[in-house]
Amino acid sequence: MSMVKKVRIVDPKDVASGSTPTAQESTVKSEASDNNYINNLASDIVTDVLDEAVFYLEAMKPIKNIKWITHGDFTAERGRQQISQFVSSWEFEDRWVHWTDYMRREDLGHSFLYLYRVHWSAPTAQRPVSRLSTYIDFTVKINKNKPPEAPIDVSYIMENQVLLQRPGKIRFREIWLKEAIESKYIMLEKPVLKTVLSISPTISILMLDKDGYENV
């Protein structure tokens, strides 16, 4: 029977410099690697638990809404007041200010669409008039064939979003406002004299100069 003998060749330079890992050094490295893996695993578990806890608390907390008026009680001004009341029920920092404008009415034949826009800005003591703002477009649909006691149909959409939302269905996120404003600041940092800031659903284009002020 032939015998195979394993031989480990050690470079004399490694022996002289002491770079050959000893059993103790290997053990230390192994333990360090294991500890790093355990720490990362523990961090992931804690993150998942916290995320689940936040999700559970938000799920238990009811989404705020208001009692909307009926078709028979609706007027353009009452619609504006109710939208302002609804938006004020959202949770956001005190630094945000908002105001609601009635835009126009559209006749679709079978129904009327009343269009509103809620403007948002975050002025500061250094800049009482905020340079940039964002908006949320609201639509109130009045069906000509519905009875007067039927509640109005309300929907809204954030600037730069495609998701159509309805009151009481989706919880408002303040981060939506922050992201809209931050995206505009990023555009203003580009080295151009004029930047197309946004195109509204009404196809109106807002042009800003390099300092962020309207120039059209």
Residue 124 in domain:
yes
CA 121 – CA 130 distance, rounded (Å)? 6
Instruction: Indicate if 42 and 111 belong to the same structural domain.
Output: no
User: Is 142 within 8 Å of 150 (Cβ atoms)?
Assistant: no
- Domain of 93, in residue numbers: 76-172
pLDDT of residue 36: 77
Per the domain annotation, does 215 fall within a domain?
Answer: no
Q: What is the pLDDT of residue 142?
A: 96
Instruction: Answer yes or no: is 203 within a domain.
Output: no
Q: Determine how many CB atoms are found less than 10 A away from the CB of residue 96.
A: 16
Residue with tokens 């060749």: 9
Backbone angles phi, psi at 137, to 5 degrees: -95, 125
Residue 22 in any domain: the answer is no
Helix H or strand E encompassing 25: helix 23-60
Q: Are residues 34 and 115 in the same domain?
A: no
Residues 161 and 80 in one domain: yes
Instruction: Based on the fold, state whether residues 57 and 136 are members of the same structural domain.
Output: no
Query: Do 107 and 140 fall into the same domain?
Result: yes
Q: How confident is the model at residue 95, as a pLDDT?
A: 81
Q: What's residue 28's pLDDT?
A: 62
For residues 93 and 35, membership in a common domain is answered with no
**Distance between CA 194 and CA 215 in Å, rounded?**
8
pTM to 2 decimal places: 0.58
One digit per residue, the tens of pLDDT, for the chain of length 216 reads 555 555 555 555 554 555 555 666 666 666 667 777 777 777 778 766 655 654 555 556 788 899 999 999 999 999 999 999 999 988 887 888 899 999 999 999 999 999 999 998 877 666 666 667 889 999 999 999 999 999 999 999 988 788 899 998 888 888 888 888 887 777 777 654 344 444 444 433 343 443 443 333
The whole-angstrom separation of Cα 205 and Cα 187 is 15
Whole-angstrom Cα distance, residue 76 to residue 139?
A: 11
d(CA 126, CA 118): 24
What's the CA gap between 216 and 210, in Å, rounded?
13
55 and 89 fall within a common domain: no
Contact 198, 206 (CB under 8 A): yes
Do residues 41 and 81 both lie within one domain? no
Residue 183 lies in a domain: no
Contact 138, 116 (CB under 8 A): yes
Q: Identify the pLDDT of residue 39.
A: 74
Domain count of the fold of the chain: 2
Q: Which two tokens stand for residue 4?
A: 């195979």
The angle at the Cα of 151, spanning 149 to 157, to the nearest 5 degrees, equals 165
